[in-house]
Structure formats: C-alpha cells, structure tokens
Chain A
Amino acid sequence: MGITSKPVVFAVLSAAVILIGTTATVFIPLFMPSTQPVSAYIKPYTAVEQEGRDIYMREGCNNCHTQTVRPLRTEVLRYGEYSKPEEFAYDRPFLWGSRRTGPDLNRVGGKYPDSWHYTHLMSPQGMFEKSNMPPYAWLAKNKLDTSYSYKKTSTLGYGYSESDVEQQIGKYQATVTSETYPSKVSRDKVTPPELRKELTEMDALIAYLQKLGRDVKQMEAQK
C-alpha cells in the first residue's frame, strides 16, 4: 500500500471517503425543499415566545423533554397528533431532544391553562409528589430581558419590524398583568410584588410552551 507512506495523500483520501456519506445524506438534503417543507399555517414565534424558547434552551429543558411525537398508536394516544415536518420550519436550532425523562412537549400548547404552568414550574413536586423535575421558581423572580428581542427575531428572519416587536412585547405584558388575566391568582402567587407589572422569564417560557403544537391544528384541519 503506497499511501501508508504518504501522509498528506492519506489525509485527503480519508476526507474524501468521509465526505461521500456526508454529501449523500446531509449536504444534498439541505438543498431539497422536501427535507424541511413550509406551510403558511405555521407562523414564526412572537418576540416573547422566542425569548421563552431561549430560556427553554438556556435551562437545557431539551435534555429531558422531547418535541417530536412519533407516528405510533400509544404515542398519539398519550400526546396527540404525531409531529409534521412543517411545524419546525422556524426552529433554529431544532429541539427534538433524545431522552424522555419527562413527557414530550410538542403538543403541550393549550393542553393546560397558564395557571397550571405557573404552579407546576414553581414546584413540580408540589403538584406531583413523585416528579423528579427540577423546580424553576427563580424564573418568576427574573425580569425578562428584551434588549435583544428585535435583534434575535431579525437574525432568525421572522420579518418583524422594531415596532412589531415592541408591540408584541407590550401586548403580552398587558395580557399577563391585566386584572382580568384568567391565571392572575397563580401568577401573583409565584411572582414577587415588584415584578407583577413586568414580564418575567417565567411568563415568556409559558408563552413559548403554549405555542407548541398550536398552529399545526389549523394546518391539519385544512387537509
């Protein structure tokens, strides 16, 4: 074997061999629209939902929760309609996960009221004694940092203007701080008094969770 005495040739050949499978199964699919189809029914995240998604990532929620319901009978029974590729067109990065220490969350949006999430995130063990989920009470004690919200959504190409982003944030803040907010009691219980009129990280995380799987219902209804 001549190449075992030619290190540079050997390296080039190794790279070539490695790139065959890579090209076939990774690079080419990147340029095929069928790999990641889009649907007009699936809308990008609002600025607040995106902030919530970033908190989900920061806390590593994806280490215990998946976001893909597989087309299996018991899985559809447990979580709901199986996941469709269109749903993930705006997900950068994807958050499908690899281990279900906790349940899948791809269909959690709308499954419970916001009040459920405030109470549960505050203390999972308070709601389910045997749960091993970490408590996330501190998220309600952190004011949401929106200083990068516009930059984030424009980096992600959601097409919002700066005033769109301000409006989205203002609107959600008005919703959760309103006297008529249905989950007010639960929110006030976990949120310190000085932050009750502000958006907290927990508010944003819950906004994100409530978005999961919402748009796909309309897409499915149209089929």
Chain B
Amino acid sequence: MGHVSAPLLAAHAISLERGGRELFQDLSFEVLPGHLLQIEGPNGAGKTSLIRILAGLSRYGFDGRVSRYTALLYLGHQSGVKALLTPRENLAWHVAGEGQYSDEQIETALAKVGLYGFEDVPSHALSAGQHRRVNLARLYLSQCPLWLLDEPFTAIDKTGVLELEALLVRHVEAGGAVVMTSHQALQVTYEVRYLSLVEGLIL
C-alpha cells in the first residue's frame, strides 16, 4: 500500500554525536502511511534522542535534516499527566493543542484504556501505570496520522500491551504510521520494519 503514497516523515542523513561518541551516522529513511517502524538498540544507543529529533524537540546539536509533512503525536518518557487534574481534565485541556473532545469521546477513550470509573478521580490518586494509561488514551482520541512513541509499553500490564499492539496495527492499517522504540518485540501479525541504531539500517 505504501509505495504510491507520499511520505509522512523523512530523515535526511542524520548524524548524532554525544559526549565525543558517535551514536549514529548518516541515517536516512522515510516513513510512509502504513509503516510500523520500531527503532532498536541497547540502552544509550540514542533511541530517545532520535525520536526527539524526529519530533522536532531537538533542533540543534545534530547533523542532517528532518522533513515533517503531517501533524504528529509524540509520547515521551514523561507522561505529561498533571497530578492535580482528573484524567478527564487532563485530556480535555491537554497542552498538545488537539481538538476539543466531547465528554462522551473522553469517557470512551478512558474506558478503552481501562480507566472506566476513574474519569473524575484526581490523578494523584492513580498509580504510575494508570498515569501512563491516561496518556495512552490520547492515542484513541488523536487524529494525527503519525505517532512517535518512546517506550509506550513502560509500566503497562500484559493485557494493556496486547490492546496497545492491536491499536497500533489498526492505526497503520487505516493509513497512519507509527515510529516507536521498545525493548520488547512486537507480537503482531503486521509487517514491522526495524531500524537498528547499531547497524544503522532498516532490516
């Protein structure tokens, strides 16, 4: 499906050096609709740095260029969930500037991440995993075609991981694209592309 569509994101010859060590060199790739791309590498290989460069959060300190052609959703290590707000408020007033969601949409999204009944509980009463889940509810609400996910499975239980994998597959099947880092292999029937930072190529 991907070969006729325009890319959502393109990296042109990205090189990054940190503390005198070359993390990766001349990395060029395109992310097309339907791509499910997993960035691989051991701790300290530069996975988070790469995904922050792709998102546009790191704008200096690397060589090369990133072209972004679409709205993107980025989920980083920190959840961005305010402890003083309820999950409902966290989503309704989210600082990423997405659309105004109705109460119903938010309740549906929270129910899908297993937070049914927690909509109006202050978030400081929730566990770390539940904080992550509030954040993941954004994936059910978002209209962004491109998702950049940095370790989305952290602190998520087994069934949560399965549901998230199914959601990722639905998103790419619907013409979206996902770029993610994770230490676990995805258990999906969809074709996963791998970008190994150690070998520097897409397998």
Q: Do A and B come from one complex?
A: no
Chain B interface residues toward A at CB < 8 A: none
Chain A interface residues toward B at CB < 8 A: none
